[in-house]
Structure 1
């Protein structure tokens, strides 16, 4: 499947805030930190949430101390919960609705992330038993995401994540098996602040690796498996992530990059990354 087709296949996994009721600003809890300027208990609306369910400081989140909000992406879970599960209801309608939405939203967010990765996996393997298994698992997760509120609230999302994770691991191995000059795997490695400038990481598994603040300038990350890798403040300027596996938009948004960073074709360059030389900042 060409990159533009993968983008189209993920269209319903793109957040549509106009069809949501600000669930990401209500359901999660966050504590005052480098990511959030204030404390907010779970199920309590953020002080910046407007009556129309929009964020009052959306254009200034980083400047106001809310970079954690910038990197969050529900992958379409918000509109699914609001429109499909609750028929357009608002958590403001009554306490029961608010409670039910709070229970369903985190589960749906996990399911939309699984759908994001499974739809990519479907494009990576040739027709055969492994491809059939991906198709079956994808259909099963789609069916779960279409469930009723009570079914979703009772769902053991963690168990499904583990099952899908195992499948994605086998897809990853099949894809990376014949990568020329494949680097050694560093799955789950603690690489916080690591000096990896120009590192040859092509085809390596960096699944779940801690790359917070790592210097990856000019690194070769082609066909690397980045499922769940923590890229917060990782410096990707000049890095080559062409064909990187299971990378999400939030991971990129949490990192640092510039116009010389090569990305998988189905992902977008974050707006806050350094502009091209001579480009005018707004």
Structure 2
């Protein structure tokens, strides 16, 4: 899927702004979020407290060594471009160090913007899917409404309750999923929404058109599995083995999900996503 997708009668939608651009962000994910000492993070850190690895230029001092230094959780986090939006647009390029009076509100706005940008990522993908053509009007309106919310002033964003809007978008994405998955080859389509598939042996499984929304696939063996047209929104792929799996056409897959998994050079990915650097082969 290219960065710019276009449906009939619509203007091109730019996905570049939905990718993290750390060079134009004030290290917001390294400050605004809470870290809990675990297998994912080597330290405890309160929200609003800069990570000890954050440098004066807002860059991570161990970026290329995060996994070996005990911070694999950082490598799987994705802000969907919310960081640069808050830094450059909402606060007009004024950073929290030089303008400390903005810090508290900036850190409140960032997670709200992150939710909105995640919705934009899903809606943009939905608009590119041919089977969802009957929903394109609704999808476009939802995307425009979400984009409008991202342009609100900082005061409004800080107090924004995203949950209601997110629920509306989720229902629309579910209808999109149903239309797309209906095009999968006939046969038994597995409905495993929210299923506990931790450590499941799914090597070579035919999961085309499966509903795997929110499924727990932690450490599952998906070697060589066929996940084309499967709904993967919110599926937990932490330490899942995707070696040789086919994820082309998988619905609502994100870079963060791939970064949390294991794979190799034979894993087939959607064009919109990158092969994680830590994968083998």
**Residue number among 93, 103, 125 corresponding to 1:120 in the alignment:** 125
* Runs of 4+ with deviation above 4 angstroms: 126-129
> What are the equivalent positions in structure 2 for 1:1-282 lying under 5 Å apart?
3=2, 5-6=4-5, 9-125=14-130, 129-181=134-186, 183-275=189-281
- 2:10 maps to none
Deviation track 1:128-156 (CA, whole Å, cap 9, x = no partner) reads 54110000000000100111101111111
SS at match of 1:3: coil
Moved more, 108-117 or 262-271: 262-271
What TM-score, normalized to structure 1? 0.93
For 2:165 and 2:124, the matched residues in 1 are separated by: 16
Q: Secondary structure at the match of 1:202?
A: coil
Matched with 1:280 is none
- How big is the alpha-carbon RMSD for the aligned residues of Structure 1 and Structure 2? 1.6
TM-score, normalised with respect to structure 2: 0.94
- Asked if the contact 2:132–2:179 (Cα under 8 Å) also holds between the matched residues in 1, the reply is no
Structure 1 residue runs of 5 or longer lacking an equivalent are: 276-282
Q: Tell me the matched-pair count.
A: 274
